[in-house]
């Protein structure tokens, strides 16, 4: 009876395991968070529209052509901004992005892996079938570089196909939960209809030609891409580890074991073994052993790829190499200290700037006055929230300040911005100019800046800090702590003070308190952040770390949008921040080169005979 129920559920999307409830709750939380974000975006859009209307009214009575042209330019700029705030129109797919979306990279196992896949009622060739000997023995594809290669069984392909199918559905669900249109990401597919009857069209970024295939073929190709990606880095990781398979992290082991246990419990509830359940959900040959093996290899591949990135701890560069990078990239390494605030409109920014005192002493007060968010209104009264210390041009651009945005520029009809196009940044040119001096004030578009220290190659050094994050306890369905009540924030602060009072005045003692109490991911490391650089942490956290009076052993309590942080200053390192950034850039470039070389050297080849047994025709039974 239980087995019959499972088969009915697989085909109709009937009763699912508890994972579905977890996903539903998570989706509900995301929806609420999204609703709040939409509300804030709408308020900002209203303010922008009001400014546009005022400019249009002024334009209607303007007789001076030059002034009218300027008004039109402002209206266009604001209209673009209006369209980009909280709107699906802001989501554009560049060729580079399209390529990333097309390639599923190292699908990481999550507890909800099977939920979406099973719930669709998808019927595959042999979907309700026993274990298949060909699937376990025949080679479906081979991945390698000639010397180092792996023969991938048909059962392994089936695992990746099911994972890819599920990943796409989760992707679409996530976009929809955040109010985004999946079609703008090339995901114009209906999983309630036959995939083999739906066309998939995209422009190949390498040939710039439009390609058409069925969605069934596309999912098949994505599965192959995922296999090639995973095994490229897995094989390289094994080779780099003297031919032995590297260990995955304890956290990854725990996550995988929890996943296996969850599926086993569900399978047993239906009267099946775990392998029997996985075969029905993921295809022939996908036993518990295959599932565990492939999940582990995905983790290994993921870990190795990350190690090729910007991991500077294990990379040594000579002083000559670092100085050579400095000479070539001096402009990128220079930093500024400034108080910065982004207003809702240019008119508000002008008002803000006109009220700002010459010494900048009322900057925080004005931030609070012009903030539209209740949390920000209170938070900005603490000066550290508006202080940007040691910011490079790139760091300011990543924060989205208008002063760090590219100047308006035009493209020929039908053309798009290219990665190698040289853009002008008038705002950054002003801020990083050699003419700047402390106390300079600038209103640029919606940004107001007060210069604390002009651009220079700073001699600040990286620091090591520990912290304990105490998050205000909000309602169970509210994960946004910035909306916590004053009482909830007060309770979090009292808890932070109590924890600090328990400290035994040693760094080891603080580390243990972090392990026992911190809500941050660094808790397992005793709350430690090593080689912290300016611009890496949120403003108030960074301001505490880089206070000129800071010394080893200092403690404090800092408020951020994440909660209260009980701080411990471990010490200052020998290398300057610019040296660390130069070293990071060199390591990142080397990692990118290594990545590109690997992906070029390793290729995937389908085995004609084995591929006849692939379960790739996923269609809904109508």
**Number of C-alpha atoms within 13 angstroms, CB side, residue 179?**
17
The residues, ordered by sequence, that sit 6+ positions from 198 with a Cβ below 8 Å of its Cβ are: 189, 190, 214, 215
Q: Is the CB of residue 467 less than 8 Å from the CB of residue 563?
A: no
Q: Give 529's contacts (C-beta < 8 A, 6+ positions apart).
A: 464, 465, 466, 467, 522, 537
Euclidean distance between CA atoms 433 and 375, whole angstroms: 34
Q: How far apart are CA 462 and CA 574, in angstroms?
A: 8
Average pLDDT of the segment spanning 321-340:
96
> What is the rounded (10 degree) CA torsion for 221, 222, 223, 229?
110
The CA distances from residue 17 to 172, 271, 273, in Å, are: 21, 14, 15
**Residue-level pLDDT at 279:** 84
Rounded distance, CA 357 to CA 379, Å? 20
What pairs with residue 559 in β-bridges?
564
Structure token digits, residue 161? 């196909």
DSSP element (H, E) containing 30: helix 18-60
- Residue 327: the pLDDT is 96
* Cross-strand pairs, 461: 576
Q: What is the mean pLDDT of residues 190-198?
A: 85
* pLDDT at position 355: 97
Distance CA(200)–CA(603), nearest Å, equals 24
Of 620, 613, 599, 602, which Cα lies nearest the Cα of 156?
613
Is residue 88's pLDDT more than 60? no
Selection from 204-218, 409-423, 478-492, 556-570 with the highest mean pLDDT: 556-570
Angstrom distance (rounded) from CA 118 to CA 163: 11
pTM (global) more than 0.85: no
What pLDDT does residue 127 have? 36
pLDDT of residue 78: 63
DSSP alpha helix (H) spans, 270-383: 274-282, 288-307, 319-328, 330-333, 346-355, 363-370, 374-379
pLDDT tier at 124, thresholds 50, 70, 90: very low
- How far CA 143 is from CA of 110, 122, 152, 225, 235, in Å, comes to 25, 29, 8, 11, 9
Burial 345-372 (b: 16+ CB within 10 A, else e): bbebbebbbeebeeebeebbebbbebbe
Structure tokens at 345: 């409109």
Tokens of 515: 């392990």
What pLDDT was estimated at residue 190?
A: 87
Length of the chain, in residues: 622
Neighbour count for residue 127 (Cβ, 10 Å): 19
417: pLDDT confidence band, cut at 50, 70 and 90? low
Helix (H, G, I), strand (E, B) or coil at 160: helix
**CB-facing half-sphere around the CA of 12: CA atoms within 13 A:** 8
Cα atoms in the 13 Å half-sphere on the side-chain side of 171: 21
Give dist(CA 148, CA 156) in Å, integer: 19
Q: pLDDT at position 43, please?
A: 59
Q: What is the pLDDT of residue 225?
A: 93
| Model pLDDT, residue 47 | 65
How would residue 615 be classed by pLDDT, with cut points 50, 70 and 90? confident
Residue 142 has a CB neighbour count (10 Å cut-off) of 16
- At 100, the pLDDT band (50, 70, 90 cuts) reads very low
pLDDT above 90 for 381? no
Average pLDDT over residues 482-494: 92
* Residues 604 and 228: beta-carbon distance below 8 Å: yes
**Number of C-beta neighbours around residue 23 at 10 A:** 19
Structure tokens at 132: 């298949």
Are 281 and 121 contacting, i.e. CB atoms less than 8 angstroms apart?
no
**Strands 619-620 vs 122-123: parallel, antiparallel or unpaired:** antiparallel
Report residue 423: phi and psi, to 5°.
-110, 155
**Ramachandran assignment for 121, one of left (phi > 0), alpha (psi -120 to 50 degrees), beta (any other):** left
- Choose from 167-181, 315-329, 428-442, 585-599 the range with maximum mean pLDDT: 428-442
Q: Dihedral of CA 97/101/106/110: which sign?
A: positive
Place of tokens 């590219």: 406
For residues 614 and 124, the answer to whether their CB atoms sit within 8 Å is no
3-state class (DSSP) for residue 17: coil
Choice between 34 and 249, residue whose per-residue pLDDT is larger:
249
The share of the chain scoring above pLDDT 90, in percent, equals 48
Q: How far apart are CA 233 and CA 595, in angstroms?
A: 9
Residue with the larger pLDDT of the pair 39 and 323: 323
Q: Given this model, what pLDDT does residue 283 score?
A: 82
């Amino acid at each position: 009876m239980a087995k019959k129920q499972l088969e009915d559920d697989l085909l109709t999307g009937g009763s699912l395991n508890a994972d579905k409830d977890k996903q539903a709750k998570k989706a509900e939380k995301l929806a609420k968070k999204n609703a709040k974000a939409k509300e804030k975006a709408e308020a900002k859009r209203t303010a922008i529209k009001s400014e546009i209307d005022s400019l249009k009214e002024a334009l209607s009575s303007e007789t001076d052509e030059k002034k009218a042209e300027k008004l039109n330019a402002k209206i266009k700029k604001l209209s673009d901004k209006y369209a980009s705030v909280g709107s699906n129109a802001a989501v554009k797919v560049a060729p580079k992005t399209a390529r990333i979306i097309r390639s599923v990279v190292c699908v990481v196992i999550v507890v909800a892996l099977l939920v979406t896949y099973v719930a669709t009622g998808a019927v595959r060739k042999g979907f309700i079938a026993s274990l298949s000997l060909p699937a376990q023995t025949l080679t479906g594809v081979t991945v390698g570089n000639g010397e180092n290669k792996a023969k991938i069984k048909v059962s392994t392909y089936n695992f990746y196909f099911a994972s890819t199918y599920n990943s796409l559905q989760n992707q679409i669900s996530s976009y929809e939960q955040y109010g985004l249109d999946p079609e703008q990401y090339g995901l114009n597919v209906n999983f309630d209809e036959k995939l083999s009857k739906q066309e998939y069209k995209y422009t190949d970024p390498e040939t710039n030609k439009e390609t058409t295939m069925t969605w069934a073929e596309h999912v098949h190709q994505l599965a192959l891409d995922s296999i090639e990606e995973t095994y490229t880095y897995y094989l390289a990781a094994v080779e780099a580890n003297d031919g032995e398979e590297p260990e995955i992290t304890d956290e990854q082991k725990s996550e995988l074991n929890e996943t296996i246990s969850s599926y086993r419990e569900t399978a047993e509830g239906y009267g099946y073994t775990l392998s029997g359940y996985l075969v029905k959900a993921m295809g022939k040959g996908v036993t518990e052993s295959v599932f565990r093996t492939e999940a582990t290899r995905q983790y290994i591949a993921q870990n190795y790829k990350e190690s090729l990135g910007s991991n500077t701890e294990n990379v040594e560069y000579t002083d000559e190499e670092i100085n050579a990078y400095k000479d070539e990239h001096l402009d990128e390494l220079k930093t500024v200290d400034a108080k910065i605030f982004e207003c809702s409109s240019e008119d508000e920014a002008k008002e803000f700037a006109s009220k700002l005192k010459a010494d900048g002493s009322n900057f925080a007060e004005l931030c609070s006055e012009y903030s539209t968010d209740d949390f920000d209104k209170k938070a900005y009264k603490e000066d550290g929230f508006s202080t940007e210390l040691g910011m490079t041009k790139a760091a300011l651009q990543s924060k989205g300040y208008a002063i760090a945005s590219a100047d308006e520029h035009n493209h020929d009809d039908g053309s798009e911005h290219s990665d190698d196009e040289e853009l002008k940044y008038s705002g950054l040119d002003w801020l990083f100019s050699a003419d700047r001096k402390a106390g300079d004030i600038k209103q640029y578009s919606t940004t107001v800046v007060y210069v604390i220290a002009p651009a220079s190659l700073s001699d600040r050094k990286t620091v090591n800090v520990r912290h304990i994050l105490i998050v205000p306890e909000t309602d169970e369905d509210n994960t946004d702590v910035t909306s916590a009540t004053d009482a909830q924030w007060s309770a979090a602060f009292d808890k932070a003070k109590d924890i600090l009072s328990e400290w035994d005045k040693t760094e080891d003692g603080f580390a243990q308190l972090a392990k026992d109490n911190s809500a941050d991911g660094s808790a397992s490391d005793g709350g430690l952040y090593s080689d912290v650089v300016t611009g890496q942490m949120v403003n108030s956290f960074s301001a505490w770390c880089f206070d000129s009076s800071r010394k080893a052993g200092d403690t404090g309590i800092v408020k951020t949008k994440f909660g209260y942080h009980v701080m411990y200053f471990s010490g200052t390192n020998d290398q300057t921040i610019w040296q660390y950034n130069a070293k990071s850039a060199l390591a990142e470039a080397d990692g990118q080169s290594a990545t590109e070389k690997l992906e070029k050297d390793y290729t995937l080849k389908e085995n004609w005979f084995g591929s006849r047994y692939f379960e790739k025709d996923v269609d809904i039974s109508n």
